[in-house]
Amino acid sequence: MKFSSIKQIELPKITLQNTIDFIGRYWFRGVILFFVMQISFNKNLSIQVKMNAVEMESIAQTDIVKAAPVVNRIVEKKQAKPAVANTVKKVINQAPAEMKALAGIGGVKKAVKKNWKSSDFANLSFVLNPTLQERKNVPQDIVDLKNKSCHKYVERFARVAIGEMKKYGIPASVTLAQGLLESNAGSSKLSVQSENHFGIKCKPKCLGCTCRNYRDDDVYDMFRVFDTAWESYREHSVLLSNSRYKHLKKLGTRDYKGWSHGLKKAGYATDKQYAEKLIMIIEMLDLYQFDV
């Protein structure tokens, strides 16, 4: 038996040029195949995520209060699927406010609408607390009215305070700030009924003095009664010239901060924030312009 000779087939050699030629001929087909596989994979993933989302939505709608803590933990995890988390958060946001509050979601608080009146605030309320209007949603006309009362007080007594400063060496800004604070810009009972703008109390031996009983820090005490506001200002200057406060005059008439802290330290008032309040009043109302 004779066997026919088998022709030997030579395989093409793999070279860089052959590889480049192959890619040049088939690259477009390869890109199309890649996108087909990618779309197929994403479609399966989308179906799975959608099924999970529907399941979670059903749970959330059935018992929104119980689901809330679980949802919060899911959202916090980086591995949580965005589609699921967003779906559940949407369900929660659509829940009644009462249920959100019960579940402790989003810091829900019951809104309280307040019809503010001018009498609800002191004249210095918005000077001493600049953010009060925004926090309490106070109408602008009330704020303007209170601030106007403070400015009117300053206009009325600025010359008096300057005169006392020149005679006794007490900063006019400090005198005005104390008058504003102690008398609530001239509207307190003590200032209206007794012309006492500085909360000056009766001395143990006060010959010829008239005194009246008023409440001070929930304690009734005897306070001086003056015929005019100017007499009250003069008595204030005399008071700050006694041995208890006279060392403050070494500070001069332009160190209103030193005077404010010095008065508090010397015991002029029991309010722990007395110095800070005086400084706030002086700076908010530009009272330092009267110090020379």
Over the chain, what is the mean pLDDT? 79
pLDDT per residue over 3-49, tens digit each? Answer: 444 445 455 556 666 767 767 777 677 777 777 677 766 655 454 54
List the structure tokens of 243.
């041995």
For residue 110, is it within any domain? no
pLDDT category, 189, cuts 50, 70, 90?
very high
In a domain, residue 80? The reply is yes
Q: How many domains in the chain?
A: 2
Domain coverage including residue 63: 16-103
Chain segment 145-157, per-residue pLDDT in tens: 999 999 999 999 9
Statement to judge: residues 186 and 277 lie in one domain: yes
* Percentage above 70 pLDDT, the chain: 64
What's the confidence (pLDDT) of residue 193?
94
CB 92 within 8 A of CB 105: yes
Within this chain, do residues 97 and 129 fall inside the same structural domain, yes or no?
no
Same domain, 71 and 141: no
Residues 29, 168: one domain? no
Ranking 5-14, 96-105, 171-180, 200-209 by mean pLDDT, the lowest is 96-105
Top-confidence residue, 211 or 43: 211
**Domain end point (choices 68, 103, 138):** 103
Cα–Cα separations (whole angstroms), residue 9 to 12, 14, 165: 9, 15, 119
pLDDT at 90: 57
Question: Counting Cβ atoms within 10 Å, is residue 201 exposed (0-12), middle (13-18) or buried (19+)?
Answer: middle
Mean pLDDT of 113-129: 92
Q: pLDDT per residue over 247-266, tens digit each?
A: 999 999 999 999 999 999 99
pLDDT classification of 96: cutoffs 50, 70, 90 = low
Determine the pLDDT at residue 156: 97
224 in the same domain as 80:
no
Query: What is the percentage of the chain residues whose pLDDT exceeds 90?
Result: 53
- Are residues 222 and 268 both part of a single domain? yes
Q: How far apart are CA 46 and CA 51, in angstroms?
A: 9
pLDDT of residue 37: 76
91, 135: one domain? no
Residue 3 lies in a domain: no
Determine the average pLDDT of the residues in 196-204: 90
Cα separation, 285 vs 277, in Å, equals 12
Residue 35 lies in a domain: yes
Q: Which of 65-69, 200-204, 212-216, 267-271 has the highest mean pLDDT?
A: 267-271
The answer on 257 and 156 residing in a single domain is yes
Does residue 116 sit within a domain? no
Q: Mind spelling out the 3-state secondary structure of the chain?
A: CCCCCCCCCCCCCCCHHHHHHHHHHHHHHHHHHHHHHHHHHHHHHHHHHHHHHHHHHHHHHHCHHHHHHHHHHHHHCCCCCHHHHHHHHHHHHCCCHHHHHHHCCCCCCCCCCCCCCHHHCCCCHHHHCCCHHHHHCCCHHHHHHHHHHHHHHHHHHHHHHHHHHHHHCCCHHHHHHHHHHHHCCCCCHHHHHHCCCCCCECCCCCCCCEEEEEEECCEEEEEEECCCHHHHHHHHHHHCCCCCCHHHHHHCCCCHHHHHHHHHHCCCCCCCCHHHHHHHHHHHCCHHHHCC
Mean pLDDT computed over 67-95: 50
Q: Does a structural domain hold residue 7?
A: no
Q: Which residue has the higher pLDDT, 218 or 229?
A: 229
Same domain, 141 and 276: yes
Distance CA 292, CA 288 (A): 9
Reading the block at residue 52, the tokens are 């999970």
If asked whether residues 282 and 140 sit together in one domain, one would say yes
pTM for the model:
0.61
Confidence of residue 209 (pLDDT cuts 50, 70, 90): confident
Examine the domain organization and report whether 274 and 134 are in the same domain: yes
Query: What is the reported pLDDT for 222?
Result: 87
35 in the same domain as 149: no
The pLDDT, as a whole number, for residue 61 is 53
pLDDT score recorded for residue 99: 44
Q: Is residue 10 part of a domain?
A: no
Question: In this structure, is residue 109 part of a structural domain?
Answer: no
